[in-house]
């Protein structure tokens, strides 16, 4: 994670690494981990009836902005 001094990383929904809305890909890019791990966490949250994973995912898909083009 080589960030220039004084710049802040921003969380975006990924344009490149997306299956549904790009939330997991964006989180993985932000934290510097594999997107499959984030997707596995979302699936585990979906297992006990769906709502514990679906509602936060939908909120993230609405609140987190899409990655700007050319980034």
Q: What is the mean pLDDT of the chain?
A: 83
Task: Please give the model's pTM, rounded to 2 decimal places.
Answer: 0.73
Q: What is the pLDDT of residues 39-54, one digit of tens each?
A: 898 888 888 877 777 8
Question: pLDDT confidence of 6, banded at 50, 70, 90?
Answer: low
Q: What is the pLDDT of residues 25-40, one digit of tens each?
A: 899 999 999 999 988 9
- Output the CA–CA distances (angstroms, integers) from residue 56 to 3, 5, 61, in the order listed: 29, 32, 9
- Output the CA–CA distances (angstroms, integers) from residue 43 to 2, 5, 38, 61, 64, in the order listed: 30, 36, 9, 15, 19
Question: Where do the domains of the chain lie?
Answer: 23-63
């Amino acid at each position: 994670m080589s960030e220039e001094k004084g710049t802040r990383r921003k969380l975006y929904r990924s344009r490149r690494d997306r299956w549904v809305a790009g939330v997991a890909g964006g989180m993985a890019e932000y934290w510097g981990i594999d997107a499959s791990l984030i997707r596995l966490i979302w699936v585990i949250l979906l297992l006990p009836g769906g709502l514990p994973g679906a509602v936060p995912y939908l909120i993230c898909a609405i609140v987190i902005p899409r990655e700007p083009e050319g980034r």
